[in-house]
Amino acid sequence: MTEQASPSDRSVSAPIKLLLVDDHPLVRDGIRARFEADELIEVIGEAQNGQQALDFVSQKMPDVVLMDVSMPVMNGLEATQHLRHLYPTMPVLILSMHDSREYIQQLVQTGASGYVLKDVSSDELVRAIQTVYQGGSYFSAGVSQMLFQGQVQASEQKQALTPREETVLRHLAEGSSNKEIARALDISVRTVETHRQNIKQKLDIHTAAGLARYAIEQGLVS
Amino acid sequence: MTEQASPSDRSVSAPIKLLLVDDHPLVRDGIRARFEADELIEVIGEAQNGQQALDFVSQKMPDVVLMDVSMPVMNGLEATQHLRHLYPTMPVLILSMHDSREYIQQLVQTGASGYVLKDVSSDELVRAIQTVYQGGSYFSAGVSQMLFQGQVQASEQKQALTPREETVLRHLAEGSSNKEIARALDISVRTVETHRQNIKQKLDIHTAAGLARYAIEQGLVS
DNA sequence: CGATCCCTCCGTAAAACTACGTAGGGGTAT
DNA sequence: ATACCCCTACGTAGTTTTACGGAGGGATCG
């Protein structure tokens, strides 16, 4: 009978206060609609990008943040980093379409409490939210496998790209050749090649197409 | 007082029967939830991919098909082509995340009655459905501009890829080299090269990264 | 049957990319 | 000042991709 809602008496007291972060109104509407009839979860706010999410959290503290990854202005990865820094205990559940390993690992290392793919059912989403609210971790089927596959060597290698490398990668992913990138950035082709080498080594990707794919998944282009 | 519902008396008789085609349960749930309270539109079925959509349409004729583009098994473009062929008058409203020109033009030329981006509001989606049901066309803001920009020269060039070419492109966009693709498909490296050449020529793209980007935009991968 | 398209494979040559190394200059942190 | 990282650039070598050409077998359609 305390005022403070603790995980164990959640179902009989206040619902879980959820902040919804996704740039697609349709997706937000959908999730909101699903939770409207649900007494365990209450959507107390929506945000269209990471920046709005941070603003909202600073005003009304939600219990859980449900976060899309690819968004304009500030993407889910950055937003999660900030959130983790500002509110270390606030659970962030990632809602994403992508199931690539590098992607997920990066987010988990950043501090996400869970990761669900957008092809989950509503019911599974509810379970995931409840789980992270109670301090646990939740990962969709398939996601967890990937995490534990290459965890050992992956945890220390995945290095962040330097700003310049990111620029080169962006151009590359748009379909430019080394020569074109060199012209655009006004540097030598050899330098572009060097950057490309370093990128490939850091990401452990070995084809131009693979790099393009990675860049797009990261939201670096288009 | 006729049994047959005509566009003009829609609001006082039977609601618009809608088929929902999207591979993400969350999106389907969301749209369905939005229309549950709406008496003008009734979701009479859902499909996770183009094949299922065709199957459903052949059994229960919906008034409008709301179709996502990037889906496994059979994507929205193919499905729309088939639908247009089988049921020339059935309105197909495309619901997509992508706003690239080639993309939209291809779909419109295929026979889609409308094209809305996934960042529309629910209300706009309702208007779009009503519009195409009544025989009109509906395009999100921004989309229509693109359509009329480069309409002239674009209408005759963009050739469709053959199934085999699409398969090769898919592998390529996942980051595989020609050698790896050849092994995977059990064909010669030279054949893969030929396919790649033909793809590049058809799409007028000249780098592996560009092809990967195109494939991802088309929803061929991940 | 002829025409056409698709898939398969090859030759040749140039261009681009990959892989590994080295290295100087500039900035920054300790 | 020393160490470290980033950006720049080059050498060399091998591999892959790009670009152009031709060609045979199989399926389909008129």
pLDDT of residue A190: 95
Query: Would you say the C-beta of A183 is within 7 Å of strand D?
Result: no
Q: What domains appear along chain B, each with residue ranges and CATH number? A: 7-152 (3.40.50.2300), 159-218 (1.10.10.10)
Name the more confident of B209 and B161: B209
Which among B26, B95, B206 has CB closest to A30? B26
Nucleotide lying nearest to B187, CA to C1' measure: C8
Instruction: Name the percent of chain B lying above pLDDT 70.
Output: 80
Q: Is the pLDDT of residue B147 over 80?
A: no
A219: closest CA of chain B, how far (Å): 12
- Rounded to whole angstroms, the Cα distance separating B46 from B65 reads 10
The pLDDT of A93-106, averaged and rounded, is 72
| Residue A13 banded pLDDT, cuts 50, 70, 90 | low
pLDDT of residue A9: 45
Contact A79, A54 (CB under 8 A): yes
Tell me the torsion sign for CA atoms A50, A104, A28, B214: positive
Closest protein residue to D5 using CA and C1' atoms? A162
pLDDT of residue B27: 81
Q: Is the pLDDT of residue A63 over 90?
A: yes
B211: closest CA of chain A, how far (Å): 7
Is the CB of A26 less than 8 angstroms away from the CB of B122? yes
- The pLDDT tens digits for A185-216 are 999 999 999 999 999 988 889 999 999 999 98
A221 → chain B, closest CA residue = B213
The pLDDT of B116-126, averaged and rounded, is 80
| Residue B82 banded pLDDT, cuts 50, 70, 90 | confident
Q: Is the pLDDT of residue B11 over 60?
A: no
The pLDDT of B180-198, averaged and rounded, is 94
SS3 call for B96:
strand
Q: Is the pLDDT of residue B80 over 70?
A: yes
Nucleotides of strand D under 7 angstroms from a protein beta carbon: 5-11, 16-23
B4: closest CA of chain A, how far (Å): 32
- Rounded to whole angstroms, the Cα distance separating A32 from B33 reads 9
Tell me the torsion sign for CA atoms B60, B61, B66, B69: positive
Strand ranges for chain B from DSSP E: 16-21, 41-47, 64-68, 92-96, 114-117, 138-139
Nucleotides of strand C under 7 angstroms from a protein beta carbon: 5-11, 16-23
Is the CB of B210 less than 8 angstroms away from the CB of A174? yes
Q: Is the pLDDT of residue A115 over 90?
A: no
Name the more confident of A98 and B181: B181
Average pLDDT in chain B: 79
The pLDDT of B13-22, averaged and rounded, is 87
- The pLDDT tens digits for A167-193 are 999 999 999 999 999 999 999 999 999
Cα dist. A133→A127, A190, B177 in Å? 10, 50, 43
pLDDT of residue A11: 47
Name the more confident of A146 and A211: A211
Name the more confident of A193 and B84: A193
Q: Is the pLDDT of residue A111 over 50?
A: yes
